[in-house]
Structure 1
Amino acid sequence: MSTPSAAPHSRPRIWAMGISRLRDLFVDIASEYAGRADVRIVARGFDDAMQEIEAAGAERPDVIVAGGSNGAYLKARVNVPVVVITPTGFDVMQALARARRDGDSVALVTHGETPDEVKRFTAAYGVDVIFASYRSTEDAEQCVRELRERGVDAVVGPGHVTDLAERAGMGAVFVYSRTSVRAAFDTALEVAQATRAEGVRRQRLDNLLQHLRDGVVALDAQGRVEAINQRLAGVLGIDAASAAGVPLQQLAPDLASALPDTDGDTLVSVRGASYVVHRGPLAGAGPAAGTVLTFQESRAVERLDRTLRSRQRAQQFTARYRLDDLVGECASIERVRTLVQRYAKSDATVLILGESGTGKEMVAQSMHHLSARRDFAFVAINCGAFPEALLESELFGYDEGAFTGARKGGKAGLIEAAHRGTLFLDEIGEMPLPLQSRLLRVLQEREVVRLGSTEPTRVDIRVVAATHRALTEGVEAGTFRADLYYRLNILSIALPPLRERAADVMPLAAELLLQAAAREPRLVARVPGLQAATHVLAPVSEPLCRYAWPGNVRELQNVIERIAVELADADGDASVAFTREMLEVVAPELFVQSGRQKKGALTLRERSRHVEADEIRAMLAACGGDRDAACEALGISKTTLWRKLNTTQ
């Protein structure tokens, strides 16, 4: 059995209340509804039926089915929906035809006034019928006596009337049929389901109202309280349960007089505290539907404003690089610039592919600077630099008490910090599988759930991911989720390694030397500009361009930093360039032959791989970077294209 605090019972409870012949009809039909409702037949009427309902307590019915005067009596007195059985025109016609067999004079007795459609029906078919009606049990007895005195041979009516007619020696025909009772049961089921759905909706809305941190009250068009949450009731010092239906002017006259007449925000004082009150239409249906008022403490609004201002432009969440910082003139770099400008106009997720040190974050920051999100945060995190537990809390944040050592009040994660801006996930291929599932939900639903919380927070972010790994191989190996890969790989940019852009080595080196000189006061005079930096590095251009740079631009930057330090400590003429001998001292690795170079030519397999990769790159260039078109022209899949390009690196 369910209790008031228990969950709603699984099936609607229908009580069929009737005596005499109607009860027998209920018994015949009830089994047809056994699978859809809990049907209880109650052989009681009027006051006895009311007592049965009140005694049921929490087990009271969802809806009642009754006939005639009994139904009308209960409908006016119990707080439960009552479906009154209504005979159809066919029922009346059949009943009158049967009554004709018992005598020439026939009376049709109904509870309340005889419906006009019944009178029109009998007149249309030329049926001579005496119409009579009653409103109570006593009326029914008096009505039957009068009909007998008038010489009526047979009576058509509900169960109680036909019983009285039989006891008076007249013919009696029960007006209700199985069809009309079934129709009443069907209506009762619909009413029960609708009532239950409305009850659940109201309960959910009430729960929502009570859990809001702000005070809320809904008023009808006359200013009476329709709903109020406990938070506001406590502020006003009133009982929320008894406030419904009472005018706000009566509950809080000072507040009601201070409220604005038009929609919008205003500052009011309630029992010594200041509140920002927002007034708006209830359900958005205009002033006739009522008003909803929300109350926020002004101090809370001020604290929130300060927090938002302090976080909006946090230094660690800004993008430093722009597209002009991407140095190089080769075709592959020009293609990268074109894609960055094109993709900056979109909010779609971008996957940046390239070896370590090729400038993936620089490209991501450049894209952010060119996008509509440029005025908001650029949040970068290296997915391979944190243990799994720490990465989870850093990305998703946590609520107070989520784990031992959790900060009081909780902490917003980096995903929330990137709201309205860009979230850059570097080395996405290193992300643990459990976190991949959570990240997938963020990408799909654009909402994040903190550790220890069940409430999602909506976020508006643009996601840019980067990796030096072939994610398709991770998908095949089961270390990277396929659905996450396809969610990330909507737009993609492939960065070429430095060894494939030898013509850009010296311009890059000169730019890096100029940047190093700007940080070192002793080099300012020696390297005042880009032309001077190029001149200084000219004697070592051959070894710099010949080297394969496995660490790409990052390794070149390291070598240039060593050169800058050497130049800063060197004595003598400031116009003297950096020599090959000096380079051999600071960067001997540039002059050591690799194991492959010592052995001479590449192996046959290596040659084959490089030839295939060169052909693929040439086809990509011919197709303007369109991978689908290149794959179709070469007769290979996108997975094969990516694998063959990466096996030569």
Structure 2
Amino acid sequence: MSTPHFDSPQRPRIWAVSISRLRDLFFDIAGEYVETADLRIVAQGFEDAVREIDAAGAGRPDVVIAGGSSGAYLKTRVAVPVVLINPTGFDVMHALARARRDGARVALVTHGDTPDEVRRFTAAYELDVTFASYESAQDAESVVLDLRDRGIDVVVGPGLVTDLAASAGMGAVFLYSRASVRAAFDTALEVAQATRRETLRRQRLDNLLQHLRDGVVALDAQGRVEAMNQRLADVLGLDAAKAAGRPLLELAPDLAGSLPDSDGDSFCTVRGASYVVHRGPLASSGAAAGTVLTFQESRAVEKLDRTLRSRQRVQQFSARYRLDDIVGASASIERVRSLVRRYARSDATVLILGESGTGKEMVAQSMHRLSARRDFAFVAINCGAFPEALLESELFGYEEGAFTGARKGGKAGLIEVAHRGTLFLDEIGEMPLSLQSRLLRVLQEREVVRLGSTEPTRVDIRVVAATHRALTEGIAAGRFRADLYYRLNILSIALPPLRERPTDLLPLAAELLLQAAAREPRLAARLPDAEAARRMLAELAEPLRRYAWPGNVRELQNVIERIAVELADADAGTDTHAATDADAKSILTRDMLRTVAPEIFEPHARAKKTALTLRERSRHVEADEIRAALAAHDGDRDAVCEALGISKTTLWRKLNATQ
């Protein structure tokens, strides 16, 4: 039996449930809520009310209102919020006052324990009231009959109790008032509105999850699925709707051991495909807030990385090194630092001279970071690393249709990209003659013309060039334009080779070892600072200083990397935290150094007592590069000659020029 039913799909659905005289109050105030709620009064109680709520399906209520034992029963058996009607203190006082007028002996019967404040109230006013309570309908009937047998005249209580008392021939005073029922209705409206807002929020969240490209699952604190999007369900071969409430590892046991133990990333394989799994908190606070797992296919990550690299080239052109990164306290290095500071205040073109591996680009980046152009691009290009046609298009850019394969819309060259920043031309001595004249015009006019275009583009750049060759020899041989040389050589910095600053070698080696340790977790505890690294390398100081270092800092870095690998391998079988400097010294011996870098002990590798000329340095660098190419091609001289573009006679001559 259900009456009346004020229907509206726009308003929250509220069911008021009662099988007692409480229904009369429901009917009395129902009209007050016709505009704000879809109100239904249900004349059922206990199990009958549970069945009717469950049978409602999509039309089930947002909130149920009930009183006494019926409300307590529903609260534990239905999946919707239940608001209990609680009598106020005024309700109790008013009901007891009415009962005293109707009979001499009065009993107050409540569902559950009688509130302490009611007992205190009756004691304070010396009211002779018998208290009783019940848990179920059967309890209520027994309590009422017992009170009748004890001579109670009037019973005050909820609707079920007063109905039973009236049937037993006793006086009955209904405990609830219109005010208490109205308060329950107002609370029900607030709960319904909050529930609907939460439902809408969850629907939006679920809709968002379903439209995500990646697989996503939300877990509670016990690892049970709260929500899962269809993409992840398809990956795991699950029914997303049936997954809710079940442990994820029970649904997908293959994931055990592959998921991150804490917030962060890990890799796992699902059905032959690799995924990057990210773990994060479900909420910003609370230890039991839950977890969100995101499954991103590794191929998609790689594709995205390639796309970002191609579309955001300008963001890549930044200087990483600072002046403090140039290690050394020798007079020659201090002079370099002084020149960098002075030249950073100027916009004049700088030519950096030095052998390969002496840190020419590091000096150029340091100068850029100290200059007024620090907030703009630092664009570096190796002029010897590209074929002539490709170097021209990279430097100067091109218009659409300038040549076969030209990008639609054209492309800005690196000179344009460096606008308002610094353009670093490494190995400028390797630039083809045909491009030298075009670069000269850029330096003179500060404008660039793209391939296939006739319109110049103004550029504001600072040019820093570097070379390991003697450009004056190139001028004499006709390989380098004299006018370009004088345009480049306005300000000049000459970098000393490593063999000419022996006092810097050990501090530099220690810094490189510290950097290598930072990339190798097994060495991090053993090398907390540069001082520890210097102590560790002390045994090797003498042979390292005696070596000529034709590859300069770059070669030293290679040797230190080998030493770091040797140290890490030695640590593999020991307790890293228990390692001491004594352990390190026992590992870093001359024999170990001879094993990882035998070239240091070769007779011809000893440092010369006199400084080399720039031409001699160039020969050493060329020979070192040829040896590296031979190693890369497993000693195949024909392959090396083809790769370097030289004849076998030239190869033999350059290898023996430094002997």
Q: Taking structure 1 as the reference length, what is the TM-score of the superposition?
A: 0.48
